[in-house]
A and B are shown apart, each in its own frame.
Chain A
């Protein structure tokens, strides 16, 4: 099983796969779906003493490392959009990682530090839209959807800033981790809702209800990007914002993300990433524009594996962030009227 092999290569020292005995004290083991096998991966406790070593390794990896985690996060997405092509072993390995979300110095450290860029990006762009805001609760009154929320790493900061956040993730374990983590904070408990489902499942019920949709580190794993973007557009209010962060499809991302991370260093299991699924900013922009989303900004992000910090950069050849706004129907009809009164609906639909 490649999952185990890759994981051992990191020095995790897995005991191996034990059959789930009665009364396992690992709660997430009980959450498996019926159709999956009954075997669970149990990690030995001394794993945590190696945290220093694991941290070292994680800090030495470039952006590809975070790709590794994202893959694990979004295996479930493939499950939902293309039914049963997901390898249950991949799911298991990821389930083993499900509880590790909130270790700020652990495997998900790069995602934690990406919040330093993502949260101000979302916050500042949303603040531009509203006129009177309170600095102590800048996003109060806003409804935000986080697609592929994982353990809730991005939902919680947005919730603290006052927004009402709905986090969705296809994997049950992630939702459980996220729910458990937010339950300790009474304020976040009220502001954040989690659901284990995919975007398609909620599109009908939540059409045009969200002020913003965030899909961070998601689109490079989605099978049908066009449908995904259309769904995002559907759930957004007119004038609402879509925030995306993803990886570019360049020679550099191939070299660092695929060759180095998967084949040389062996950190990411071979075949986890499909370079073909990476999306270039130009492609993304054209997809967004053709679905009624006006692109406002596209900026590059760069991860420094030594310091563990991200920073903004003008080069988008590795990671980048995009902000688009759903054009409001009202604006379109106004334009239509001011440009040439009396033009029939045909020309309007061509636009």
Chain B
């Protein structure tokens, strides 16, 4: 019964320390009570892309005009005044749904004025067979946009600077403890969340939003279990120069047995590499000579070494059948560009894993972004899921604010959780399944995925459904 589940929610983890400052002389019979700390309506912990976007969205929301919002970021303000000439090696694929969210509070215009690259088409194919799937939109809409993470942060910070009265930002604010209020019967204590920083400052808030990444302090302080396991893979990123300038509006991804390699367009001459492979191979790639690195990339995209005759013939059988049943051919296969140069100092690697918080919300706390879920980059959905969390949470909080509700109340927070968990769990499971399916060279599985990919490529409605789900 829902009530029993709710009971477990109220097993609040008492904080380590209250962090000093007990509210002095609280006589509960008296009318007003002076608190020494300001009470914020919402505190967003974590100033990454998702946290800053959340603070921005709240600040620009009409129902939050008279509310106080605080953004806490443990690091310094990294956004410089000027955009650097060279492209950064960390980029994200932004779906149209996320672009809509960013434009709802005016950040997308800043991104358009800086730099971004729309792409119209995505080609995904296997290293072990000829099977491929091509996503493209018949109309002239963009499928998605490749934007550097620094550009997104810069745009968001610009929009935050426009509303200093609504949103206060505190940099270099490492939080050492979060304290949640006890069960409601302790009416003497403050019902708000207490946050203590390393420098001794304290804040109180009605709702704490945890956007502090995969090792979320908010999540662990709230005692929310996190289902996670590391993939035995690291992702290598780099900025690459193409051999010759092209229109470059296609995103390429090839599934190698060691992991997927993707080439995302940044401009007519530049592309960004994301290559997920084993830890050892990733370290090798990052440290090898530039020429060897480029050879490795080109052969990863072009080589047919993993093909076997059996799979090839099985694949072509199905292909004949498809062409027979569906004479109108879908988009022709294109060849990926080759790369000629690596941007110096742009090679880096980071480990990959999967994570999903069992609960996204507790009384007075909500998790968004990587604090709630962490996914493999093969589907390009990580930050988009975070932006989707923001859209949903803003919608529910905005309605709650217009109904005069207590922002930390579970009734609307659980609605957010249900809505997002339904979407995210499915996406994470699908990504994990794809990753496992494509990490093997066993013939039965290769056959299965070859036929599966070809069949999916042939069924247009199915492809459209996939594109629609992934673009939210």
Interface residues, chain A, CB within 8 Å of chain B? 27, 48, 51-52, 55-56, 59, 99, 102-106, 113, 115-116, 119-120, 123, 134-138, 156-162, 176-177, 179-181, 183-186, 189-190, 307-308
Contacts and interface: CB of A to CB of B under 8 A. Distances in A.
B302 interface: no
Interface string B180-195: 0001110100111000
A189 B183 contact: no
Interface of B: 1-4, 6-7, 10, 28-33, 35, 39, 62-67, 183-185, 187, 190-192, 206, 401-406, 409-411
B33 A48 contact: no
Given A180-B29, A185-B39, 4 more contacts: A59-B3, A159-B404, A161-B404, A186-B32
B404 A157 contact: yes
Given A99-B187, A104-B411, A119 B404 contact: yes
Given A103-B184, A181-B187, A115 B2 contact: no
B404 A156 contact: yes
Contacts of B2: 59, 307-308
Given A99-B185, A104-B411, A185-B39, A52 B31 contact: no
A123 to B, nearest CB: 8
Contacts of A189: 31-33
A48 B183 contact: yes
A105 B3 contact: yes
Nearest to B204: A184
A321 to B, nearest CB: 15
A138 B402 contact: yes
Given A52-B4, A104-B411, A183-B28, A115 B403 contact: yes
A184 B33 contact: yes
A162 B206 CA distance: 18
Contacts of A99: 185, 187
Given A48-B183, A104-B409, A184-B33, A137 B10 contact: no
Contacts of A181: 187, 191
Contacts of A115: 403-405
A32 to B, nearest CB: 14
A16 B192 CA distance: 34
A65 B184 CA distance: 21
B403 A120 contact: yes
A135 B63 CA distance: 6
Contact of B185 (A48, A119, A308): A48
Contacts of A120: 403
27 contacts: A48-B185, A51-B7, A52-B4, A55-B4, A56-B3, A56-B4, A99-B187, A104-B410, A104-B411, A119-B403, A120-B403, A123-B404, A135-B63, A136-B66, A156-B404, A156-B406, A157-B404, A160-B404, A161-B404, A176-B28, A176-B29, A179-B29, A180-B187, A186-B32, A186-B39, A189-B31, A308-B2
B63 A116 contact: no
Contacts of B185: 48, 99, 103
Contact of A184 (B3, B64, B192, B405): B192
Contacts, number: 108
Given A103-B184, A180-B28, A52 B402 contact: no
- What are the 10 closest A-B residue pairs judged by CB atoms, nearest first? A157-B404, A136-B65, A55-B3, A52-B7, A160-B404, A183-B33, A161-B404, A180-B28, A189-B32, A103-B184
A75 B31 CA distance: 24
Contacts of A106: 184
Given A55-B6, A136-B62, A184 B190 contact: yes
A35 to B, nearest CB: 21
Nearest to A47: B185
A59 B31 contact: no
A184 B191 contact: yes
Contacts of B409: 104
Contacts of A59: 1-3
A52 B65 contact: no
A185 B192 CA distance: 9
B21 to A, nearest CB: 15
A157 B406 CA distance: 8
B207 to A, nearest CB: 13
A104 B33 CA distance: 23
A27 B28 contact: yes
Which of A104, A116, A189 neighbours the largest number of chain B CB atoms within 10 Å of its CB? Answer: A104
A56 B4 CA distance: 8
Contacts of A190: 32
Nearest to A309: B411
A105 B185 CA distance: 12
Given A156-B406, A189-B32, A136 B3 contact: no
Contacts of A159: 404
B402 A186 contact: no
Contacts of A27: 28-29
Contacts of B404: 115, 119, 123, 156-161
B59 to A, nearest CB: 12
A308 B62 CA distance: 30
Contacts of B190: 184
Contacts of A156: 404, 406
Contacts of B31: 179, 183, 189
A137 B64 CA distance: 9
B51 to A, nearest CB: 23
Nearest to B409: A104
Contacts of B183: 48
A135 B29 contact: no
Contact of A51 (B10, B28, B191): B10
A58 to B, nearest CB: 8
Given A55-B7, A181-B187, A184-B190, A136 B63 contact: yes
A14 B70 CA distance: 44
Nearest to A30: B29
B113 to A, nearest CB: 29
Nearest to B410: A104
Contacts of B32: 183, 186, 189-190
Contacts of A157: 403-405
Contacts of A138: 402
A161 B406 CA distance: 11
B216 to A, nearest CB: 26
A105 B402 contact: no
Nearest to B405: A157
Contacts of B29: 27, 176, 179-180
Nearest to B28: A180
Contacts of A137: 65-66
Contacts of A176: 28-29
